[in-house]
Amino acid sequence: MITRRHLIKTLSAAPLGAFLPAIAGAAAFDVPALKTGYAQRLKKMLAAGELPYIDLESSCNSTKLDMDFVAQNMDRLNIGLMALSADIGSGQFKKGVRFDNLSERLIASYPDRFIPVGNGGQPPSLTEAPAEFLDAQEAAIRSGQMLCLGEYEFRHYPSPRQAKRGETEERDVQVPIDGPTGHRLFSLSEKTGMAFQLHYEIEDELLAPLEQMMAQYPKAKVIWCHLAQIRYIERASRYTPAYVDGLLKRFPNLYFDTAFGDPMSTYPLSHQRHARVWASDGNLDAGWRDLLVAHPTRFLSALDLGGDRMNQIPSYDQKHRYFLQRLPAEIRHQVAYRNAWALLFGEEFA
């Protein structure tokens, strides 16, 4: 059993100026120990005939999280690992919080289940104090507090749940991807080798700026969240399997996660079925399925749990497994856990 004592190690000697004050006194996670625990958990599930997966995109309000509930559901549902990111809410933000150490608390209790991850880049952090927020995330990287960055919202429509509640202005976010914040984030990913998750609505006018950023920062590791999740089809005439195929060929450090709705999922504001990977019969659309087969190492499992739906783990798990079961067996394992493992640790899962 991996204990807290074995999990955390003292920072190696480094100039004091190498670390920013926000993370003063922090201890780095012992990555080899984490990998051992993660691998044992995944292999145990595989040996039992189950398909574990690594959820690389979920987030929560850390002040309201019931981590025992999440861990118990992960065991019950055979969810392998989870990168559960803390979103800094307005209350924390007003108190000056720019880095929430949720990962440290999660790993202290459940070291074989949770992946240390940065905080969610969403309002108010990314809109009101982006430089301070990114300073704190960079300090956490330098002090060994994460294996990947959280989800950054550059263009985000209100979620379906927010739309149904009439909260149509709270999450209508537009931060230029090619503005100062975007350049800072891409540069941070490139110089640290740390992947970041990108929420970026699919619209024709937004595609060129993103392509330019990926070309300018070719070593930045980008996980574009929600493959083929299109809220307004009339605004996204260019986004097709052929277009994504071209992106994957041009940008070797671009990945997509597979957190999207089921075949009947509808976006309330447009009244459109916004998970475009599905055909009318409920199976994967042939074009999107062929894309996954053509690029089996570039897609990642994800649930996209959030602060207002942490109690919905079983239904989200069921929907994701419905998708995984429609992939060829070998690719199913690639998407479920092998690709995330390679991205996080730079090696094949063995």
| Tokens 């916004």, residue located | 274
The pLDDT tens digits of the residues spanning 210-244 come to 999 999 999 999 999 999 999 999 999 999 999 99
Q: Is residue 70 part of a domain?
A: yes
Whether residue 22 is predicted with pLDDT greater than 90 in this model: the reply is no
Q: Which residues, at least 6 apart from 318, have a Cβ–Cβ distance to it below 8 Å? A: none
**Cβ neighbourhood burial of 302 (10 Å; 0-12, 13-18, 19+):** buried
The number of folded domains in the chain is: 1
The whole domain housing 38 covers 4-9+27-345
- Predicted TM-score (pTM) of this structure: 0.92
Per the DSSP assignment, residues forming a β-bridge with 28 are: 9
Instruction: Please report the pLDDT score of residue 318 as a whole number.
Output: 98
The answer to whether residue 71 is domain-embedded is yes
Q: What is the mean pLDDT of residues 15-39?
A: 68
Instruction: Establish if 15 belongs to a structural domain.
Output: no
Question: Considering the domain boundaries, does residue 16 fall inside one?
Answer: no
Residue 311 phi/psi, 5-degree rounding, is -80, 0
Query: Is 58 a member of any domain?
Result: yes
Q: Could you tell me if 149 and 196 are in contact, meaning their C-beta atoms sit under 8 angstroms apart? A: yes
Domain assignment present for residue 21? The answer is no
Q: What average pLDDT does the segment 74-99 reach? A: 96
Q: What is the mean pLDDT of the chain?
A: 91
Burial of 16 (0-12, 13-18, 19+ CB in 10 A): exposed
- Decide if pLDDT at 178 tops 60: yes
pLDDT band at residue 170 under the 50/70/90 scheme: low
pLDDT band at 13 (very low <50, low <70, confident <90, very high): very low
**Is the per-residue pLDDT at 3 higher than 50?**
no
List the CATH number of the domain containing 58.
3.20.20.140
